Every structure is written in structure tokens, then in C-alpha cells.
Structure 1
């Protein structure tokens, strides 16, 4: 049987990690992998996480299963963190998932159960796992224009023109903030326009919220999501705690479904529980309980908010400094957009050939589409990096 299998295409990020690891140059630089790093190149454990884990270790008395939907307190705390007071809680069904990726997968399967004829529209470009999962599940997928390579901003007119082809019941996948891979985000006014469009046309928004707190702030990053939640009858949200809590390896996520009426919420909740049961039975508890402890304790929550805000501001400083270094190196303003984008990523607009030259001649690693991880920028080596980029242009 197994001899009939074909070798799958390598994941480009994993492949890049392997190339970087094999490079023996001491001054090599990894700007490809999408993991937050501090000034020392580490992915730190947040102070509040350490404190919450210590409390959990001291107080936990069993390792028995929690529930199919996961930790109730975690789901409720995440619901408040994401939605605030934007929509009545009796219309929101939620469950814990293994990471944000697990949440996206569960919601894709929920779409498949609810309407097998629905198409899912995603941005061009988007996180590669979105189209990969849709193809694996056999869900019809379509793309809408999103990024204007000339201006390095959102192509909103192109987006609206493409979504004019969506039919009633189709799902439109949006990035909640800090668009991956471009770093370009819709304005709040554009979110309002989309909300009105979706409500009028009967389209269902699905929000992938992987970076809350990394862009303009915890509440600002979900301002568009919250507005839309208050305007449309149905919405799906996949949330990740990998970045804003630094819990990458603990796989902490949540999936939410907003129904048009409270009487439909138990049905949505039951289906989320059923999908959890079939895909992984019970979700992992440690990371989710850690998040629940932090969000439920005013002191730990404030500590977390403060550290997260420091991480966010640090990335904004790196963005501004890098844009200035590129301006000096190229004697132009064509990279100024780096300072205005938000989140961990920006796409520089380099060709695959230029990216390959940066890797071979300078030991600088980024994905083939020239997406860079802002958190991986060397604060003390920005002029050297900018000079290398100018050299391959």
C-alpha cells in the first residue's frame, strides 16, 4: 500500500529552515521563519506565562480530560478578548483547538458540513496553509485581489471587484490584523465597507486572527472584526495564542461561530464538539489553562499586556529604523511602506532571483516572495542588511 504514495512537495518554510541550518557562515541571517524573536534572537517565555505555569503546577491535581470543547474558562476569556461587547454572547459558540491552525481546520470542516456548495474566497496572497487545507478537504476555493505590488498597500478596489463574483452563502476569509505575508491591512473604514457588503450580499466572513496585539494594540487590532461582528448575522473566527502569548509549541487556539439567532448556538456548539471528537478527541490543556489563568487574573493580565505592548513597540521601532536604513542605502523612498505596515511581516517586492542572490552572496534568508520577519531584523545591523538589498537590485 505505502509504495503507492507520492512524495509530497516540500513546505517552503521548512525547506528554508533546512537551508539556513546547513549554512556554516557565522554572519548568516534568518528573516524567513515566522516566529517572534527578541534582540538576542530568542523566542522568550513571557513573564506572565512563567508565573501562570508555576501556579498551574502548584494547584493542578489531575491530568484527566477536560471536555470536548476544551477548557470553558479559556474559551470564555478568549471570547471576551476577541469580541468584547460587540455581539451578544448567546449567539457565540466556541471551542478550544490545537493552535490557530487547528481552529482554521475545524472551521473549514464546519463550513463543509453546513454548506458543501459554499466556496471559500481567500486573499491573493495569503498564508500558504489556507489553500493547502482547502484543497485537502476538497472545498472549492477562489481568490480575490488583495495586495498592490506597485504601492505595497491593499488593493481594495480590486478586492471589491473580485468579491462581486461571490454568491450567497460563500465564505470570505480575512486576516484579522497583521496580514501574512504582506503586512498591509485594511483601514477601519474599509472594514466597514466590507461589513456592509457581506450583510447585503449574504456572504459569511471568516477571520483568521493570529496576531492580536502585534499590530496597533490588543483592542485596535480587532476593531474591524468587532464592527463586522455587530453587522453580519453569521461569522467564523479562528484565533491563535502562539504569537501574543508566545505559546508556539503548546498549540493553543480557539474557534468561534456566531449564529444569526441564540437558538442556533447550541447546534453550532454541538458540531464544534463533534469535530473536535473526530479530529483529536480532547484538546491539549496545559497552554490553554495557562492563558485562562493570565486573562482571569488582573495582575498577570496587566503584566502580559505590558510585555506584549513592549514587543509590539519594538517591532514598530525596527520597522521605522529599517525603512530609514533602506532609504539611505537606495537613495529612494520605495521601501518607506515597511514603516507603515503592521505585524511580523512585510513583503519587500524583490524578485525570486534577487532573493536567491541575498541567500547565496550575503547569507540572508527570506521566503521566495521576499517576505521578511520584522522581529528577526538585527537592530545593530540594519545598514548592512539594507546595503545587501541595494546590492542585488
Structure 2
């Protein structure tokens, strides 16, 4: 049987990581892998997480299973973090998942159960795992325009023209904030137009919010999700704690469904539990418990929010420095979009050939579509990157 298996496409990010490790140059720069790094190149454990782990070690008395949907307290804490008071709690079903990726996978499975004929619409470009998961699950998908290669901003006219053609019952996958891979976000006026379009077409929004707190702050980053969830009959939301709590390896995510009809919650909740049972049975709890402890304790929460805000401001400072250095070297403001983008990523707008030159000639590693991780930079490497960008003719 195993001889019948066929090789699968290699993951581009993992390939890039391998090339980076094998590169003997000591001045190489990794802008490929999508994790936060501080100025020393480390991905630290956040202070509140360390403190919560100490407390948990003292009081935890069992490692027994929680529930198929995870600890209800985690669901309540995450619904509050993402949705606030935009939607009554009795309208929201929630289930813990192994990371945000697990939430996306369970969300696609949910869509397939509810409407196997639906088409899932994705922004062009989007996070590579989105189409990969949808294809594997066997759902139809289509693209809507999103990124303008000329301005490095949102092609909003193209986006709205494409969304106008979405059919009732189809699903539109949207990035809640800090669009990956482009870094280009909709403003709230544009989000309102998206909501109006979804109301007219009868499509269901599926929001992936993996970077809450990395863009304009915890509340501002959730504003679009709250607008959508409070304005439409149904919304599906996949959220991740990997970035904003720095617990990548704990695989802590959540899938939520919102229905304006409270009577729909029990069926949605039982379906989420069923899907968990079919896939991994009980979700991991360690990361979820730490998140719950932090969100429910004022001292821990305040400390976490302070550190998260420092992370966010640090990335904004890197963006401003890079845009300024490129303006100085190029004599133009054509790289000003870097300061306007939000989150960990920006799409530079380089060709695959230019990206390869950056790697081969300058030891700078980024994905072939020129997505680069801003958090992979520091004050010392920004001038190096800026000079390489200009020398490469980008």
C-alpha cells in the first residue's frame, strides 16, 4: 500500500528554512519564517505566560481530558477577547482546536457538512495553507482580487467587483487584521462596504484572525471582526493564540460560529464537538489553560497587554525605520507602503528573480513572492536590507 503513495509538494517556507540553516554566511538574514523575533533574534516566552505556568504547576492536580470542545472557560475568555460585547454570548458556539490551523481545518469541515456545494472565496494572495486545506478537504474555491502590485495596497475596487459575483451560500474567507502575506489591510469604511456586499449576496463570512494585537492594538484589530459578526446572519471565526501570546508550540486556537438566532447555538456547538471527536478527539489544554488564566486575572492580563503592546510598537518602529532608510537611498517615497502596512508581514513587490538575487548575493531570505517577516529585522539589519533592495533594483 505505501508504495502507492505519491510525493507531495514541498512546503516553500520549510524549504527556505532548510536553505537558511545550510548557508554558512554569518551575516545572513532570515525574513521567511513567520514567527515573532525580538532585537536579539529570539522568540521569548512572554512574562505573563511564564507566571501563569508557575501558578499552574502549583495548583494543577490532574491531566485528565477536559471536554470535546475544550474547557468552557477558555471558550468564554476567547469569545470575549475577539468579539467583546458585539454579539451576545448565547449566539456564539466555540471549540478549542490545535492552533489556528486546526481552527481553519475544522471550519472548512464544518462548511462541507453544512453546504458541500459551497465555493470558498479566498483573497489573492492569501496564506498558503488556506487553499491547501480547502483542496484537501475537497471543497470548491475561487479567488477575489485583493492586492495591488503597483501601489502595494488593497485593490479595493477589484475586490468589491469580485465579491459582487459571489453566490448565496458561498463562503468568503477574510483576514481579520494584519493580512498575511501582504500586510495591507482594509480600513473600517471599506469593511462596512464588504459587510454590505455580503448582506446583498447572502454569502457567509469566514474570518481568520491570527494576529490580534499585532496591528493597531487589541481592540482596534478586533473591530472588523466585531462589525461583521454583529451585522450578518451567520459568521465563522478561526482565531489563534500563537502570535499574541507567543505560544506557538502549544498549538492553541479556537473555532467560533456566530448566529443571530440564539436557537441555532446548540446544534452548532454539538457539531463543533463532533468534528473535534472525528479529527483529534479532545483538544490540547495546556496553552488554552494559560491563556484562560491570563485573560481572567487582571494582573496577568495587564502585564500581557503591556508586553504585547511593546511588541506591536517595536514592529511599527522597524517599519518606519525601513521605509525611511529606503526613502533616503532611493530618493523616492515608493516604499512608503511599508510604514502603512500592519502586522508581521509585508509583500515587497519584488519578482521571484529579484528575491533569488537577494538570497544569493546578499544572504537575505524571504518567500519567493517577496513576503518578508518584518519581525525578523532589527535596527542593525535594516540598513543592510535597504541597501540590498536598492542594489537589486527593486
Shared fold (TM-score, shorter chain, > 0.5): yes
User: 2: CA distance between counterparts of 1:383 and 1:285?
Assistant: 43
Question: In structure 1, what is the equivalent of residue 385 of structure 2?
Answer: 385
Which 10-residue stretch deviates more, 326-335 or 284-293?
326-335
Question: In structure 2, what is the equivalent of residue 174 of structure 1?
Answer: 174
Superposition pairs for residues 138-149 of structure 1, below 5 Å?
Answer: 138-149=138-149
Indicate conservation of the 8 Å contact 2:145/2:159, yes or no.
yes
Question: In structure 2, what is the equivalent of residue 197 of structure 1?
Answer: 197
Cα deviation, residue 243, structure 1: 0.1
Cα deviation, residue 281, structure 1: 0.4
Superposition pairs for residues 1-150 of structure 1, below 5 Å?
Answer: 1-150=1-150
Give a deviation string over 1:143-179, Cα, whole Å, max 9, x none.
0000000011111110011112211011000000000
Question: In structure 1, what is the equivalent of residue 274 of structure 2?
Answer: 274
Give a deviation string over 1:278-309, Cα, whole Å, max 9, x none.
10000011000000000000000000000000
Question: In structure 1, what is the equivalent of residue 348 of structure 2?
Answer: 348
Cα deviation, residue 313, structure 1: 0.2
SS for the counterpart of 1:236 is: strand
Cα deviation, residue 260, structure 1: 3.3
User: 1: CA distance between counterparts of 2:199 and 2:162?
Assistant: 17
SS for the counterpart of 1:239 is: strand
Indicate conservation of the 8 Å contact 1:329/1:383, yes or no.
no
Indicate conservation of the 8 Å contact 2:242/2:251, yes or no.
yes
Cα deviation, residue 196, structure 1: 1.5
User: 1: CA distance between counterparts of 2:341 and 2:254?
Assistant: 26
User: 1: CA distance between counterparts of 2:91 and 2:216?
Assistant: 28
Work out whether 1:295 is the aligned partner of 2:295. Answer: yes
Superposition pairs for residues 111-260 of structure 1, below 5 Å?
Answer: 111-260=111-260
Question: In structure 1, what is the equivalent of residue 367 of structure 2?
Answer: 367
SS for the counterpart of 2:55 is: helix
Indicate conservation of the 8 Å contact 2:348/2:372, yes or no.
yes
Indicate conservation of the 8 Å contact 1:259/1:268, yes or no.
no
User: 2: CA distance between counterparts of 1:290 and 1:329?
Assistant: 46
Give a deviation string over 1:230-268, Cα, whole Å, max 9, x none.
110100000000000000000000000012311110000
User: 2: CA distance between counterparts of 1:155 and 1:352?
Assistant: 21
User: 1: CA distance between counterparts of 2:190 and 2:17?
Assistant: 36
SS for the counterpart of 1:65 is: coil
SS for the counterpart of 1:253 is: strand
Indicate conservation of the 8 Å contact 1:46/1:245, yes or no.
yes
Give a deviation string over 1:170-197, Cα, whole Å, max 9, x none.
1000000000000000000111111122
5+ residue gaps, structure 2, are: none
Cα deviation, residue 381, structure 1: 2.5
Cα deviation, residue 27, structure 1: 0.4
SS for the counterpart of 2:205 is: strand
5+ residue gaps, structure 1, are: none
User: 1: CA distance between counterparts of 2:71 and 2:334?
Assistant: 48
User: 2: CA distance between counterparts of 1:382 and 1:99?
Assistant: 31
Indicate conservation of the 8 Å contact 2:36/2:344, yes or no.
yes
SS for the counterpart of 1:130 is: helix
User: 2: CA distance between counterparts of 1:260 and 1:316?
Assistant: 37
Cα deviation, residue 227, structure 1: 1.1
Structure 1 runs (4+) greater than 3 angstroms displaced: none
User: 2: CA distance between counterparts of 1:313 and 1:378?
Assistant: 13
Question: In structure 1, what is the equivalent of residue 337 of structure 2?
Answer: 337
SS for the counterpart of 1:19 is: helix
Cα deviation, residue 378, structure 1: 2.4
What's the TM-score once normalised by structure 2's chain length? 0.99
CA-atom RMSD, angstroms? 0.7
User: 2: CA distance between counterparts of 1:85 and 1:78?
Assistant: 12
SS for the counterpart of 1:230 is: helix
Indicate conservation of the 8 Å contact 2:164/2:197, yes or no.
no
Which 10-residue stretch deviates more, 258-267 or 311-320?
258-267
User: 1: CA distance between counterparts of 2:357 and 2:90?
Assistant: 55
User: 1: CA distance between counterparts of 2:71 and 2:157?
Assistant: 42
Cα deviation, residue 329, structure 1: 1.9
